[in-house]
Chain A
Amino acid sequence: MNQQVHVVLPRNLQILAGVGRDVEVSVDGDVTQRSVLDALEADYPALLGTMRDAKSKQRRPMIRFFACEEDFTNEPIDAPLPAEVASGKEPLLIIGAIAGG
C-alpha cells in the first residue's frame, strides 16, 4: 500500500531539487529511512548521492534524520519510522548538521 510521507529538506537540497521546504513522496510498503530516501531520489534524481552514497547507500556523515522530536539518524536504515511519519501526520526532517559559531 502506498503511503504519502512528508519530508522537510535542508535549504541547499531544496534548491538542488527545485522544490520548496516540504515535499511529499509516495512510499510503497514499510516507511523506513531507506524507503523514504528511495522515493525521494526517484522523484528528484538531482538528490542522488547528496544524502547517502549512491552505491553503498551509506548515509553521508553530516546528514541527520529527525522526526517527532527524536533523532533517528543512527537507527537501522530498514527500521520503521514512527507511525506519525508513515501516516503523513508528522514530517521526516532531513538535516544538515549545524555548522559555524
Chain B
Amino acid sequence: MSGVRLLVGTKKGAFVMTSDGARKKWTIEGPHFAGWEIYHLKGSPADPNRIYASQSSGWFGQVMQRSNDGGKTWEAVGNQFVYDGPTGTHKWYDDSDHPWDFKRVWHLEPSLDDPDKVFAGVEDAALFVTSDGGQTWNEQAGLRTYPTASTWAPGAGGLGLHTIILDPTQKDRMYIAISAAGVFRSEDGGKTWTQRNLGLKSNHIPDPDAETGHCVHRIAMHPAKPNVLFMQKHWDVMRSDDCADNWHEISGNLPTDFGFVVDINANDPDTVYVIPITSDSHHFVPEGKLRVYRSKTGGDDWEALTKGLPQKDCYVNVLRDAMAVDSMDPSGVYFGTSGGQVYASPDGGDTWDAIVHDLPQVLSVEVQTL
C-alpha cells in the first residue's frame, strides 16, 4: 500500500485528495461537478480506479457519475430511479400519508467483488442496484414494501436510506439503515428484509422501544468481526454482538450521545470513533470544542482526541457519511465538517491536522487505501 485517496462530497462539488503513506502532504483536485450537491462518492473495492458519485440539485434532479481512472475524468451514467410497482405511502411529518417520491441518492455501496455492481440508498427510502456499471438501476422492492413501510416517517433531513453494509464473510448478508425507520438485515442480497431494532429506545416516538421508527444515523461493521455492529442513533451510541438481533447502549462517559458518525479502526475492531454533537436542536459540537471520541474497548469507555483540533469557538457539525478510516498501519482517520474543513489523523486519532479549511459544507468523506 503506497498511499490514500480521499473522496469528499460537498454542497457545491466533489474533491479528490491524495497523499502518500505518511499522510502529511496532500494534493487536492476539484471541484468536480461544481455547483452540484455531491451526497456521496465511493470507490469499488474490486477496482479502486472505478469510482461512483451521486450528484444532485434541487433544480436539475439526480445525476450519477462514474470514473474509471481514479477520479481524474468522469462520465454521466444512468439516472433513472423508478420505484418497482405501486409506490404506496409513508408517513409525513404531520402524520398524514405521503406518496413515495424519489428525491436523491444518499449513499453508494459498490459490491465487494464486482466493479459494475453498486447498491444505492435513496430518499424516499429504497434500495436500488446496478449490475452494469451504473447505466441502469433497479429497485430491490422488498425493502420499500416491508410490512411496516407505511408507518415510516422522515427524519428532519428526509426519509433517507443512508447506510449500506455488505458482510464480507456472508455473501448475501447485508444491512441498511433508514432515518427514521431503523436497521434492516437481508440474508439474500437485498431481496427480503427483517427489521432489527430490538434494544433501541427513542424518546421522540410514542412507543420508545417500538419495532420501527428509530432515527438511526449510522451503523458500522469491521470485516474481522462481522457479527458486531456499532450504531450512532439520533441519541445513544449502541452496539450489537449478534448481527443486529439485539442492541445495547455503549454511550458510557461521552459528553453527549447525540451525533451522526461512527466508525471503526481498520486494524482493531474494538477501537471505535464517534463525534458527539450537542443536541438535535444544536447541530454543533459541545462547548465550542471539536473532539473526536475514541473507545478502545468497543464502547462505554471513551477518551477525547483533541490534539490538532480547534478547542475554542468551534461550532461545526459532522454529518453521517463524513467520516472514514483507511487501512494503513497505523490506521488513518478522516472527517469533514459543516464548516468545510477536512481533518486527517495518520495515527489512529492521536493527532490531527486540517488537509483543507475552506471547502463548501462537507457532506461525505470516503477513503481508499491504494
Are A62 and B59 in touch, CB under 8 angstroms? yes
Known contacts A11-B35, A12-B36, A15-B34; is A63 also within 8 Å of B59 by CB? yes
Q: Which residues of B contact A62 (CB under 8 A)?
A: 58-59
Main secondary structure of the interface of B (DSSP, over half): loop
Bound-state Cα–Cα, A11 to B60, Å? 11
Bound-state Cα–Cα, A13 to B55, Å? 12
A5-17 interface bits toward B, Cβ cutoff 8 Å, 1 = contact, 0 = none:
0000011110110
Interface size class of B (residues with CB under 8 A): 10 to 19
Q: Which residues of B contact A55 (CB under 8 A)?
A: 80, 82
How many A residues, CB 8 Å from partner? 20
Q: Among A27-35, A42-50, A67-75, which stretch is in contact with chain B?
A: A42-50
Are A49 and B61 in touch, CB under 8 angstroms? yes
Are A12 and B57 in touch, CB under 8 angstroms? yes
Q: Which residues of A contact B80 (CB under 8 A)?
A: 48-49, 54-55
Instruction: Report B316 CB to chain A, min CB distance, Å.
Output: 23
Q: Does B92 contact A (CB under 8 A)?
A: no
Q: Does B28 contact A (CB under 8 A)?
A: no
Are B76 and A12 in touch, CB under 8 angstroms? no
Q: Which residues of B contact A63 (CB under 8 A)?
A: 59-60
Cross-interface CB contact of A45 among B35, B62, B76, cutoff 8 Å = B76
Q: Which residues of A contact B165 (CB under 8 A)?
A: none
Q: Does B79 contact A (CB under 8 A)?
A: yes
Instruction: Report A23 CB to chain B, min CB distance, Å.
Output: 16
Bound-state Cα–Cα, A99 to B59, Å? 10
Bound-state Cα–Cα, A88 to B293, Å? 63
Bound-state Cα–Cα, A48 to B137, Å? 14
Question: Could you tell me which B residues sit within 8 Å of A by CB distance?
Answer: 33-36, 57-63, 76, 79-80, 82
Question: Could you tell me which A residues sit within 8 Å of B by CB distance?
Answer: 10-13, 15-16, 45-46, 48-51, 54-55, 60, 62-63, 96-97, 99
